[in-house]
Structure 1
Amino acid sequence: MNSLDILVMVAYFAVIVFFGVWGARRAKTAEDYAVAGRNLGMRLYLACVAALIIGGGSTLGTATLAYESGISGMWYLLGIGTGMVLLGVFFAKKIHGQKVTTMSEMLEKRFNVEARIISSLVSCTYTFMLTVGQVAGMGTVLHVWLGWDLALSMIVGGGAVLFYTVLGGMWSISMTDIIQLVIMTAGIFFVMLPISLSKVGGWTALHEQIPSAYFEWNSIGAAFILKSLLLYTLSIVVGQDMWQRLFTARTSKIAKYGLLGAAGYAYLYAIAVSIIGMCAFALLPQLDNPQDAFAAIAEATLPAGLFGIVVASVLSALMSTASGTLIATSTTIVNDIIIRFTKQDLNDKRVLMVSRMTTLTIGVISIILALWIQSVLVALDTAFAILSGSLFFPIVLGFFWKKTTAKAAFYSILSSSVVVVIGLILYGSSSVIPILCGLGVSLITIVSMSYLTAPSQELEMEGLDADIKG
């Protein structure tokens, strides 16, 4: 990167810090810090949700898959977008009507405290590993494109996210997400996509330069498509990071249609980045590592200044997701463990301070672990597998099947978590077997035990229905 690109990067970080500090002025209560006072309108809410789901894996990973398999590389983001459609259509009204702060809190209302404890542990593992993955991704981007030391890159990138998240929580995240979404959109749709197509001679010329299989929607293989739908679609439906954004919406209508709008953005983003990856294959077919596809075509085609914008757009994708998963981890720990089980009477000011300290602690640990793992894909696949395989059926059946009992939910989460972890150890994080086994064990356990155990007398499904109608 030359001096102009570096100037663009410095300006980007300055703007993010400014809006982070500005947003922090509105974080005056614990609810402001965790869910932005439940007061986001449609435009701000849609921007926040879209920025959350478009992470570094979505950008760099999709370009890598497209470089190897063509347009079908978009299935990673299609799985995420489909999860948002399901969440918006079938769950948004029910979830928003709960007036809770975490997914685990809802499970306690539906079942019992044991379900809340074990689900919060699973949820924390998921959001924490996502945070680690995004920090590792930020470090890689700064290391490759700016030439900084990898450890320093992770500390700088992770530290910037940690600064504004600790300061203002969800309000700071919401303010910075607007800027990040604008930069992401500009960098991908208005810079990288048109310039990449121009360099290969246009769409028709692209058809002539790469194999025809690259234009088939299923060329990546049925196994990867199934994995995308299982891992990413189900994780979006039951992920605390997405639920927490949903809680920020002012109304259930905003919650629903904001999710659907963000899903549409994810589909368009998937197509755009896939085409960029295909252009990279046409221009640079001999890359030693396909994971360098996005970086390589950016370096080969973009002039000074525009290259800095694209780097900033990738960092925006990483930072927006990292801040969302960081606050989700912190909120789960504070609300489901510290507040729920502390014997002290914590007032709102005290809760706000504890939330900031917890966010700071989790952020520092995330940076340290990212320095150790240094792999985005391992962190992401592990997080998605544990969440989807363990919590999908307890949450879905808890909403829609009144026979589901507290004991059934607890043992379903416990047994499937063990199975998924064992599967990850035996087959690796990239295999679909762990999540399939986890889902199977989860479903069999919750259905069979629901018929064998008596339903709880004090925690009936009607209680949730009353909350939703209220």
Structure 2
Amino acid sequence: MEWLNVAVLSLYLVGMIVFGVWGARRISNTADYLVAGRNLGGTLYAGTMVAVVLGGASAVGGIGLGYAYGISGFWLVTAIGVGVLVLSLAFAPALQRLRIFTVSQMLTLRYGTESTQASSLIMLAYTLMLAATSSGAYASVFVVLFGWERWLSILVGGAVVLIYATVGGMWSITLADMGQFIIMTIGVFMLMLPISLSQAGGWSGLQGRLDAEFFDIGGMGLQSIITYFVIYTLGLLIGQDIWQRVFTAKTPGVARLGGTTAGVYCILFGVAGAIIGMAAAVLLPGIEVRDDVFASVALEVLPVGIGGIALAAGVAAMMSTASGGLIAAATVVQADVIPLLKGMSEKRGPRKLTPMEVVKVADASAARAEQAEEDVNINRRWVLIFGVIVLFIAMAVPDVVAALTIAYDILVGGLLVAIIGGLVWKRGTGAGATWAMITGSVGTLITMGVLEIRAENRFDGVFANEPIYVGLILSAFVYVAVSLATKPTDPEVLAAWIKRTKEGAPSLEQVEEDARGIEEELLKKV
């Protein structure tokens, strides 16, 4: 009857393609393709936010941690949930009002300088590695269930993600995410948790058959818990894949309430995963690789057919993260990287833009992209191109987790201070942000390199925590010092930023009028 599990998972994959075709019918401009028309209500928003943040690390990793460490295994997913809560309660409403597409655009609007666009290169590396890691994760399920080679599993799963992400963009991803959210909820909360716990004898059965340390909330160790919060909580505050979901919210209220709901759901998901892992420790002792626990529970503990639904839940978590990273990478390239490279290659005009003119030009670029129908096919091509690149990375590099760790370290160590500083500290300047990103990134990389040379095991090198700490400390010191030593942000730029975060973006007509005025002034100077 194992064919029934295969049939259930196959039906899920076909369903994802259907969502892609369905979502494509709702695409008419760039805003529809990249941010679902900025029109998601509370239910769709909460579902898509849960789906993008709960990837393989949450579904497979969380249950594996529960198997190894007991109830304290919930800390990994809890750190993710806390990150979603902080983002939603503290920053999401203001971000939603900006009506932009990328993190780099936020930096330009806040500081009035184009030098912060270099952040887009780091963000691109992060989103690509995120998608590649998720691709490798769902491929591992296909290897177990179908008996395929790893490369074939990556190709088949990647083809499904590519089809629905490329054809329908964020609308297809949102619809697929909602389906994935439902499957994850059913698979984990309604099937894996009650069935595995029941077969293990309930909570009393766990207490009678597991050692006391399995019930210690700090059992995995303080250092590991801190690491999860540093990497995942802080990373979630500034990741392009997460912000892009914030931009899909219909209103600031949806971004706040829907995100808060998603954060609470994530924490509950983490607790459920840890308990499932504990039940597996009773029912399936002796599993050597803890990442195999999820699939083992689905195939050996759950009834045939139900196990297929549980496997689909795991694949859903991984595919949603992969598609989110993919469209985030395409958005960053189209909106930030290409303009950055063009600006570096083209000769500068005889007159440099003032900080406020930089803001107005950036505003005009984002506003025009909002309405552009012709850019949809360009974005589709970028999603397709990066999808192929991601599949190649996942197949060619056996340890993409190391690459993702490096990207996460630079993301947090290099960019966090400049981004969050711009949101909470009015005295922060563009020079301070730029130098903070440079020193934080370089400090993170150098520390990582030194530790890797001296490493006696993998957790003393690339996977160590020290690079992030060094990057954050250097970045914070430089940000404050340079900001205080340089002229404050142009008052007009800061006033426009504050007004925008409180009242929303200016009208398209006003933006285009400002842009025309700047162009006319530039022509007069030529």
In which range does the TM-score fall when normalised by the shorter chain?
over 0.9
Structure 1 match to 2:523:
none
Amino acid at match of 1:364: V
1:417 equivalenced with 2:450 (yes/no)? no
Structure 2 match to 1:438:
471
Structure 2 match to 1:382:
406
Give the aligned length: 470
Partner Cα separation in structure 2 for residue 169 and residue 396 of structure 1: 28
Deviates more, 1:358-367 or 1:368-377: 368-377
Deviates more, 1:170-179 or 1:113-122: 113-122
Structure 2 match to 1:392:
416
TM-superposed deviation, 1:421? 2.3
Structure 2 match to 1:8:
8
State the Cα deviation string for residues 54-101 of structure 1 (Å, max 9, x = none). Answer: 111111111121111111111111111111111111101211111111
Whether the aligned pair in 2 keeps the contact of 1:70 and 1:274 (CA below 8 Å) is: yes
Structure 2 match to 1:164:
164
Partner Cα separation in structure 1 for residue 177 and residue 32 of structure 2: 16
Counterpart pick for 2:392 among 368, 375, 396:
368
Q: Which has the larger radius of gyration?
A: 2
1:117 equivalenced with 2:114 (yes/no)? no
Amino acid at match of 2:23: G
TM-superposed deviation, 1:112? 4.1
Partner Cα separation in structure 1 for residue 501 and residue 290 of structure 2: 48
Counterpart pick for 2:380 among 332, 356, 376:
356
Structure 2 match to 1:452:
485
Structure 2 match to 1:465:
498
Amino acid at match of 2:481: S
Structure 2 match to 1:37:
37
Partner Cα separation in structure 2 for residue 311 and residue 3 of structure 1: 13
SS in 2 for 1:436: helix
Shift in CA distance, 94/297, structure 1 to aligned 2, threshold 3 Å: same
SS in 2 for 1:319: helix
State the Cα deviation string for residues 387-440 of structure 1 (Å, max 9, x = none). Answer: 111111111111121111111101111111122223333243321111111111
Whether the aligned pair in 2 keeps the contact of 1:158 and 1:367 (CA below 8 Å) is: yes
Partner Cα separation in structure 2 for residue 37 and residue 115 of structure 1: 29
SS in 1 for 2:143: helix
TM-superposed deviation, 1:113? 4.2
Deviates more, 1:12-21 or 1:421-430: 421-430
Whether the aligned pair in 1 keeps the contact of 2:113 and 2:430 (CA below 8 Å) is: no
Equivalent residues in 2 for 1:58-457, closer than 5 Å: 58-338=58-338, 348-375=372-399, 377-425=401-449, 426=452, 427-457=460-490
SS in 2 for 1:293: helix
TM-superposed deviation, 1:304? 1.4
Deviates more, 1:141-150 or 1:172-181: 141-150
SS in 2 for 1:287: coil
Shift in CA distance, 122/164, structure 1 to aligned 2, threshold 3 Å: same
Amino acid at match of 1:431: A
Structure 1: tracts of 5 or more residues without a match: none
Partner Cα separation in structure 2 for residue 305 and residue 383 of structure 1: 38
TM-superposed deviation, 1:384? 2.4
Shift in CA distance, 58/99, structure 1 to aligned 2, threshold 3 Å: same
Whether the aligned pair in 2 keeps the contact of 1:102 and 1:243 (CA below 8 Å) is: yes
Whether the aligned pair in 2 keeps the contact of 1:115 and 1:409 (CA below 8 Å) is: no
Q: Given the two structures, how large is their TM-score scaled by the length of structure 1? A: 0.96
Deviates more, 1:143-152 or 1:335-344: 335-344
TM-superposed deviation, 1:459? 6.2
Shift in CA distance, 378/348, structure 1 to aligned 2, threshold 3 Å: same
Amino acid at match of 2:421: L
Please tell me the root mean square deviation across aligned C-alpha atoms, in Å.
Answer: 1.8
Whether the aligned pair in 1 keeps the contact of 2:131 and 2:390 (CA below 8 Å) is: yes
Structure 2: tracts of 5 or more residues without a match: 347-364, 453-459, 504-526
TM-superposed deviation, 1:141? 1.2
Partner Cα separation in structure 2 for residue 348 and residue 114 of structure 1: 23
TM-superposed deviation, 1:340? 6.4
Partner Cα separation in structure 1 for residue 164 and residue 480 of structure 2: 44
Q: Given the two structures, how large is their TM-score scaled by the length of structure 2? A: 0.86
